[in-house]
Amino acid sequence: MQLIGIGASIGTGISLFPQLIKVAREKKAESVSLPMLSVLFAGLVLWVIYGIMKEDWIIIISNAVSMILNACTAVLSIKYKQK
């Protein structure tokens, strides 16, 4: 069961990475939804808090990684949306 949890958290944790690469490479973010990134960010912050309270390192690390990727994607998207 632990393996499934780790697999799940890696999957959702790194899922934003391809989106970040695509925005960075193409320097376009026209159809990327900033409200999505904001709602997702809020959810990820809460998951990290939930993981800390449950002392569940799988939840903490995967959602912290996702938060960082999310923030980078948002910053780049805002930058390229302004052009």
Long-range contacts made by residues 61-64, C-beta under 8 angstroms, separation at least 24? 61/9, 61/13, 62/8, 62/9, 62/10, 62/12, 62/13, 63/9, 63/13
Q: What are phi and psi of 17, to 5 degrees?
A: -60, -50
Per CB under 8 A, 13 contacts a copy of itself: yes
Tell me the closest approach of the beta carbon of residue 15 to a copy of itself, in angstroms: 4
Per CB under 8 A, 46 contacts a copy of itself: yes
The count of chain residues that interact with a copy of itself, using the rule CB under 8 A, is 40
Per CB under 8 A, 79 contacts a copy of itself: no
Q: Which is nearer to a copy of itself, 43 or 72 (CB)?
A: 43
